[in-house]
Homo-oligomer: A and B are copies of this chain.
Amino acid sequence: MNFQDKVKNKASGIVVYGITPPKAGTNPDKVKEIASKQMARLSHLDLDGLILYDIQDEESRTSVERPFPFMETLDGLEYSQQYLHELSIPNIIYRSVGKYSEAELSEFLTHPGMSKNGTVFVGAASKDQAVTLNMKQAYALKASVNKNMIMGGVTIPERHLTKGDEHIRVFEKIAQGCDFFVSQGVYDVNATKSFLSDYYYYGQEHDIPLVPILLTLTPCGSPKTLDFMKWLGISIPRWLETELIHSQDILNQSVDVCVQSWNEIKAFADEKNIPIGVNIESVATRKVEIDASIDLYHRIKETL
């Protein structure tokens, strides 16, 4: 079954991989080289889809200095079309909607190259960010110009621990057309289970079918990557942070932790038939960390 059908069938076990396009201004030969490497790494994997992030400068969200510098990237759709066409899996192209005009977003949504692809809309990083389109407008536009395109939303289980309404946000996005969700990086099993638990019971009470939630798993290969994950808003239990910092092999231990977390969450979700899947990524660009994300893919696949 392809990605679109799996999503429409609200299937469990969807596995995607997430990448960020090369930075803007990269020499085309270099872009080609990067794309070849990415395709070589991913082409032999049994992935349901490839996520291409659309990162935005989130400096308005936090006053803490970004551990890795922010860099504008190539446009996800262009990169996908020009460089990744040999990779025969659907691309899920993110759109930080506040960066685009209505005409631009409309063109993207009706682009012939998007027929087998999907998208995920991302809202502003904070209330203070100046935006062209807000999420409500973007969802309305999408519903009017291309109702059938598979569309995902972002969910942040960590937010659920303090606000307790993440499941409500998710159902509101489902009502506006979201067919699946991609979580923030999961290192806090309790936050994820707490969100899934409320998602499940709210769905039951209001008789709303649950759509797939893809949990993002990402290895952590250094204290700097750990800082970056925390900067991104990923919550890490205190003991786990201490363990990783003291670890002789932080990278492998983080992969073990991701697999354990996945197994624990999967046992919880399977018992209730909550459809969950996985999005694997490496937030760092070092080769060892990317390789670890591929190991993580194989270890997750074994559980499915």
Contacts and interface: CB of A to CB of B under 8 A. Distances in A.
B243 A197 contact: yes
Interface string A198-228: 1001000000000000000000000000000
Interface in A144-175: 160-161, 164
A113 interface: no
A90 B196 CA distance: 45
A248 to B, nearest CB: 13
B161 A239 contact: no
A56 interface: no
A183 interface: no
A interface residue count range (under 10 / 10 to 19 / 20 to 34 / 35 or more): 10 to 19
A190 interface: yes
B242 A198 contact: yes
Given A201-B246, A246-B201, A193 B161 contact: no
A198 B242 CA distance: 8
A44 interface: no
B237 A193 contact: yes
Interface string A7-49: 0000000000000000000000000000000000000000000
Q: How many copies does the complex hold?
A: 2
A246 B202 CA distance: 12
A239 B190 contact: yes
Contact of A239 (B193, B238, B246): B193
A242 B197 contact: yes
A215 to B, nearest CB: 14
B164 A197 contact: no
A194 interface: yes
A148 to B, nearest CB: 34
A238 B195 CA distance: 9
Interface of A: 160-161, 164, 190, 193-194, 196-198, 201, 237-240, 242-243, 246, 268
Given A190-B237, A201-B246, 12 more contacts: A160-B238, A164-B238, A190-B238, A190-B239, A196-B239, A197-B238, A197-B239, A197-B242, A198-B238, A198-B239, A198-B242, A239-B268
